Structure 1
Amino acid sequence: MKRTYYLSLLLFLNLTLLLAQQNISGVVQDTEGAPLVGVNIVEKGTTNGTTTDFDGNYIITVADNATLVFSYIGFATVEEATAGRTSINVALAEGVQLDEIMLVGSRSPKRTATDTAVPVDVIDVAEVATQSGRIEVNELLQYAAPSFNANKQSGSDGADHIDPATLRGLGPDQTLVLINGKRRHQSSLINIFGTRGRGNTGTDLNAIPSASIKRIEILRDGASAQYGSDAIAGVINIVLKDRTDEVSGFVSYGAYNTNADVDTSDFQADDYGVWNTDGFRLDTERDGNQIGDDQNFDGGSLKAAINYGVGIGERGYANFTAEYVSKNKTLRPAFDFRKGFGEAAIDGFNFMANVAIPVSDDTEFYAFGGRNYRDTDAFAFTRNGGARVIPSIYPDGFTPRITSNITDNAVTAGFRTELPSEWKVDISNSYGKNNFHYFIKGTLNASLEDVSPTD
Structure 2
Amino acid sequence: MSQVIRYRRLMGYVGVILLVLLGMMPIMAQERGTISGKVTDARTGESLPGANIILVGTFMGTSSGPDGSYSFEAPAGSYTLRCSFIGYATKDVEITVIAGEVTTVDFELSEAAAEFGDVIVVLGSRAERTAVETPVPVDVISEVAVRESPQYELNQVLRDLVPSYNASHQTIADGTDHINPASLRGLGPDQVLVLINGKRRHPSALVHVNGTFGRGTVGVDLNAIPKSAIERIEVLRDGAAAQYGSDAIAGVINIVLKESTGKINVNAMTGANNLLFKKDISLSPEIQEIRTAHGLSPDVRFDDTDGETYSLDINYGFKIGSTGFFNITGEYLDRGRTNRSTTWTG
**TM-score when scaled to structure 2?**
0.61
Q: CA deviation at 1:322?
A: 1.2
Residue segments in structure 2 that go unaligned for 5+ positions in a row: 1-33, 43-49, 54-61, 72-79, 96-106, 281-290
Q: CA deviation at 1:126?
A: 3.4
Q: CA deviation at 1:66?
A: 4.1
Query: What does 1:180-329 correspond to in 2, within 5 Å?
Result: 180-257=197-274, 259-260=277-278, 296-329=304-337
Say if 2:52 is the partner of 1:43. yes
Aligned partners of 1:128 and 1:140 also within 8 Å: yes
User: 1:110/1:19 Cα in 2 relative to 1: closer, same or farther (>3 Å)?
Assistant: closer
Q: CA deviation at 1:304?
A: 0.7
Which residue does 2:9 correspond to in 1? none
From 126, 131, 138, the equivalent of 2:144 is: 126
User: 1:211/1:94 Cα in 2 relative to 1: closer, same or farther (>3 Å)?
Assistant: farther
User: 1:91/1:158 Cα in 2 relative to 1: closer, same or farther (>3 Å)?
Assistant: closer
Which residue does 2:92 correspond to in 1? 82
Give CA-to-partner distance per residue, 1:7-58, whole Å, 9 cap, x none: xxxxxxxxxx998457899xxxxxxxxxxxxxxx942653679xxxxxxxxx
Q: CA deviation at 1:249?
A: 1.2
In 2, Cα distance between equivalents of 1:201 and 1:308: 32
In 1, Cα distance between equivalents of 2:338 and 2:160: 20
Which residue does 1:365 correspond to in 2? none
Q: CA deviation at 1:296?
A: 2.1
User: 1:81/1:238 Cα in 2 relative to 1: closer, same or farther (>3 Å)?
Assistant: same
Q: Report the residue type matching 2:175 in the other structure.
A: G
62-71 or 121-130, which moves further after superposition? 62-71
Q: Report the residue type matching 1:133 in the other structure.
A: P
Q: CA deviation at 1:210?
A: 1.1
Report the secondary structure of 1:214's partner residue: strand
From 129, 137, 140, the equivalent of 1:111 is: 129
User: 1:231/1:48 Cα in 2 relative to 1: closer, same or farther (>3 Å)?
Assistant: farther
User: 1:208/1:294 Cα in 2 relative to 1: closer, same or farther (>3 Å)?
Assistant: same
In 2, Cα distance between equivalents of 1:255 and 1:47: 54
Say if 2:339 is the partner of 1:331. yes
Say if 2:165 is the partner of 1:148. yes
Aligned partners of 1:120 and 1:217 also within 8 Å: yes
Q: CA deviation at 1:308?
A: 1.4
Q: Report the residue type matching 1:198 in the other structure.
A: R
Aligned partners of 2:239 and 2:250 also within 8 Å: no
233-242 or 253-262, which moves further after superposition? 253-262
Q: Report the residue type matching 1:46 in the other structure.
A: S
Aligned partners of 1:102 and 1:111 also within 8 Å: no
Aligned partners of 2:195 and 2:252 also within 8 Å: yes
Which residue does 1:175 correspond to in 2? 192
In 2, Cα distance between equivalents of 1:164 and 1:181: 22
Report the secondary structure of 1:65's partner residue: strand
Report the secondary structure of 1:84's partner residue: strand
In 1, Cα distance between equivalents of 2:324 and 2:179: 35
Report the secondary structure of 2:94's partner residue: coil
Q: CA deviation at 1:327?
A: 0.8
Aligned partners of 2:241 and 2:247 also within 8 Å: yes
Q: CA deviation at 1:226?
A: 2.4
Aligned partners of 2:228 and 2:329 also within 8 Å: yes
Q: CA deviation at 1:233?
A: 0.7
Query: What does 1:424-435 correspond to in 2, within 5 Å?
Result: none
Q: Report the residue type matching 1:82 in the other structure.
A: D
Q: Report the residue type matching 1:322 in the other structure.
A: G
Aligned partners of 1:249 and 1:306 also within 8 Å: yes
Equivalenced residue count is 256
Q: Report the residue type matching 2:340 in the other structure.
A: R
Query: What does 1:343-382 correspond to in 2, within 5 Å?
Result: none
Give CA-to-partner distance per residue, 1:93-120, whole Å, 9 cap, x none: 697x99xx942xxxxx663335211111
Q: CA deviation at 1:227?
A: 1.6
Q: Report the residue type matching 1:120 in the other structure.
A: V
Give CA-to-partner distance per residue, 1:382-421, whole Å, 9 cap, x none: xxxxxxxxxxxxxx9xxxxxxxxxxxxxxxxxxxxxxxxx
Q: CA deviation at 1:157?
A: 2.5
Q: CA deviation at 1:204?
A: 0.6
**TM-score when scaled to structure 1?**
0.48
User: 1:227/1:256 Cα in 2 relative to 1: closer, same or farther (>3 Å)?
Assistant: same
Aligned partners of 1:247 and 1:309 also within 8 Å: yes
Aligned partners of 1:307 and 1:321 also within 8 Å: yes
In 2, Cα distance between equivalents of 1:225 and 1:204: 24
